[in-house]
Structure 1
Amino acid sequence: MDTQGKLTLVECKLAANPQVHREVIGQVRDYASRMWRMDVDEFERVWRRTDGGRISPFEELDDQDGRIRTAVKENLASGRFNLVLAVDDLNDDVKRIVEYLNAVTVATTGVIVVEFTHAQDGDVEILIPTAYGTDLVEAKSAATVAGVPTWGEEDFLAWCEANDPTATPLILEFLDALRSAGFQIAGGRAQTPSLNCSITSPHGVRWPVALYTSASSKEASAKVEVRFPDYRRQPEVREALAQRVETIPGIPIPVDLVRQSDFRKRPNIPARDFTAEQLRALPTAVAAAIRG
């Protein structure tokens, strides 16, 4: 399960097994059919039981506003899964099966096979993955995304006016500050208006900031998110990002909590919890950290 609520099911088989061509497909489809229409609460209970009683997967992904849970609920209800066949020998028969399944399944279901080759050097053992079918899945996904409307800034601001009017002037300040700091603002494809903000770094284009809208029975709010988890495996960048953000006086982003979670948390904070000064300073701080 990823931070977008997308679900991936994996079946492992030895390709040398003569039954693999029949069994692997049947088993992974069996897994998918069992999860199809599963209640999200039951999914969470099964996950925790299988994972030795650890915390909820939604807590691990810091799903503060329930966006991930909602996406998982919808994916379970509609049976939208990615299916991965993990084998030790990527032969032509398995490739043919993957090509066929991607051709006949709906666009929201992708099928990939991953071959794991074993290598050993002394006491060091390595599994080297080789994937097949990713281009087919990406092509299917692109065709689906093309039919999904993209939100614009006007949509985001209109939502704020209707649901969180105190956020509107703050969001306007933030968008202006983002552009001044060199960010490009692109519309998102979430269920409710969202925006994704990119900036060019020495290592390419990065997307460290996002704006979301969220409505529940308790509240409706426009939210600002700095994507700390995207930089978990880049110690210098993630720490620079944390340090730059926490130097903004009174910033409501809980940087200490992010550090304690080993940068797994991605707090999304209501825009109305910020001051205009903080929102003007945030893009410059993030840009400086990402650009180094």
Structure 2
Amino acid sequence: MDESPYDSELLLQELLAHHPDLLAGEQMNGDAPRRWLLVTREMAVPDSEQGSGKWSLDHLFIDQDAVPTLVEVKRSSDLRIRREVVGQMLDYAANAVAYWPIEQIRTRFELRCEAEGAEPDEMLEEFLGESDDPESFWKRVKTNLQAGRVRLVFLADVIPSELRRVVEFLNGQMDPAEVLAIEVKQFVGSGMKTIVPRLLGQTETARQKKASSTQPSRQWDATSFLERLRERRGDDPVDVARKCLEWAHERELYIWWGRGAVDGAFIPSLRDEHGKSILFGVWTYGRLELQFQHMNRRPFRDIARRRELADRLQQIPGIDIPDDRLTKRPTFDLAVLQEPDALQTFFNAFDWMLAESRNTTFAQ
């Protein structure tokens, strides 16, 4: 088979969108190969807080550790690949870290899924498996962005030596950001076509330095969760969280435990052969997050039924849920539920929700 050039840069971009493995995740980390979730192509990058988008990034991916990965694609015939593309990518990264709201990233992912006829939650859950839940994942993406923990990738059919030297230098100097280049050669012959990616720019020194500075995730459980909550907020929120956990266990709900490096969560959900509906999440920093956005099981797919649940919850002083939050994840402090009457009203509201969900299923 002979090496063959790509017909166009657009073709190379489309190949990457449909085959994310071209990002050579196993070459980046042999012990834990990187897996890729495509957020979108042509991601707008603003140059101010209110900016709509001065530039357009070729591809935005996120790996399984919630690290945003900015990819710029060029052909070797494009002279900009030797110098201009470096400044371009640094512009993207500097402004993305400063001005990309996580809501925009999440919305672009959802729009991309919908355009392809896919369900965003199902696609994300398939990507994450049992290792994470969607809410915790997006929070980690936000945390990584705020910390500048991003990955910049230059992808081309041929990486010029000038670009490779710059990438190696930047990757050695930038921390926690990572800068890499991937050469994707195409070979054609005998009626066959093979595409071979090769990672460049990751020196052993840089790899070890970044590995040592990366904070590992942890698997939370009831004991570690309550200890962390007590450290951060004291005894009163711990009592509320413990009772929420006991309530969920008594109703035989599925409990998902987070894997955040710093903060954890437990998230009860109703799961059986009829579907799934996530109820709420409790976090180690002392807040409770209502999961309206993920109440996907009948009858609470209906906004009117969500409004009924919200009205029951709003009987608790300190909880306000406007209509525009019925498709989102409104939060409030656990202190709101410290009074016994408030906590009982909260449990009554979700007992009603569970009964309605099960009765609707049985009636079908």
Normalising by the residue count of structure 1, what TM-score does the alignment of the two structures yield? 0.51
Q: 2:242 aligned to 149, 154, 172, which one?
A: 172
Q: 2:268 aligned to 192, 197, 218, which one?
A: 197
CA apart distance, 1:107: 11
Q: 2:257 aligned to 182, 187, 190, which one?
A: 187
Letter in 1 for 2:336: D
Aligned to 1:138: none
Query: 1:224 aligned to 2:288?
Result: yes
Q: Is the 8 A contact 1:81 1:109 kept in 2?
A: yes
CA apart distance, 1:168: 2.8
Q: 2:311 aligned to 243, 246, 249, which one?
A: 246
CA apart distance, 1:268: 1.8
The CA distance in 1 between the partners of 2:299 and 2:67, in whole Å, is 28
Aligned to 1:270: 333
The CA distance in 1 between the partners of 2:272 and 2:153, in whole Å, is 33
Uncovered stretches (5+) of structure 1, i.e. residues with no partner: 48-56, 62-67, 95-100, 114-132, 134-144, 215-221
State how 1:1-292 maps to structure 2 within 5 Å.
8=68, 26=86, 29-31=89-91, 34=94, 43-44=98-99, 57=101, 72=142, 74-77=144-147, 79-81=148-150, 147-162=216-231, 163-190=233-260, 191-201=262-272, 204-214=275-285, 222-230=286-294, 237=301, 239=303, 240-248=305-313, 250-251=315-316, 252-255=318-321, 257=322, 259-261=323-325, 263-264=327-328, 266-274=329-337, 275-288=342-355, 292=360
Uncovered stretches (5+) of structure 2, i.e. residues with no partner: 1-38, 40-61, 106-137, 160-166, 183-196, 198-213
| Total equivalences in the alignment | 215
Letter in 2 for 1:280: F
CA apart distance, 1:200: 0.7
RMSD across aligned positions (CA): 5.2
Instruction: Note closer, same or farther for the CA distance 1:73–1:192 as it changes in structure 2 (3 Å cut).
Output: closer
The CA distance in 2 between the partners of 1:273 and 1:172, in whole Å, is 15
Normalising by the residue count of structure 2, what TM-score does the alignment of the two structures yield? 0.42
The CA distance in 2 between the partners of 1:69 and 1:148, in whole Å, is 13
Letter in 2 for 1:152: D
Give the secondary-structure state (helix, strand or coil) at the position aligned to 1:254: coil
The CA distance in 2 between the partners of 1:263 and 1:282, in whole Å, is 18
Q: Is the 8 A contact 1:241 1:285 kept in 2?
A: no
CA apart distance, 1:25: 7.3
Instruction: Note closer, same or farther for the CA distance 1:160–1:245 as it changes in structure 2 (3 Å cut).
Output: same
CA apart distance, 1:211: 0.6
**Per-residue displacement from partner, 1:251-276 (whole Å, max 9, x unpaired)?**
34422x2x134623x22222221223
The CA distance in 2 between the partners of 1:285 and 1:108, in whole Å, is 47
The CA distance in 2 between the partners of 1:254 and 1:208, in whole Å, is 17
Letter in 2 for 1:157: L
Give the secondary-structure state (helix, strand or coil) at the position aligned to 2:301: helix
The percent identity for this pair of structures is 14
CA apart distance, 1:196: 2.4
Instruction: Note closer, same or farther for the CA distance 1:278–1:261 as it changes in structure 2 (3 Å cut).
Output: closer
Instruction: Note closer, same or farther for the CA distance 1:244–1:12 as it changes in structure 2 (3 Å cut).
Output: same
**Per-residue displacement from partner, 1:48-84 (whole Å, max 9, x unpaired)?**
xxxxxxxxx47989xxxxxx8997465343x423669
Q: Is the 8 A contact 1:185 1:196 kept in 2?
A: yes
Where relative contact order (Cα < 8 A, 6+ residues apart) is larger, the structure is 1
Letter in 2 for 1:192: D
**Per-residue displacement from partner, 1:10-58 (whole Å, max 9, x unpaired)?**
567687985698799757743465359x6xxxx24xx6xxxxxxxxx47
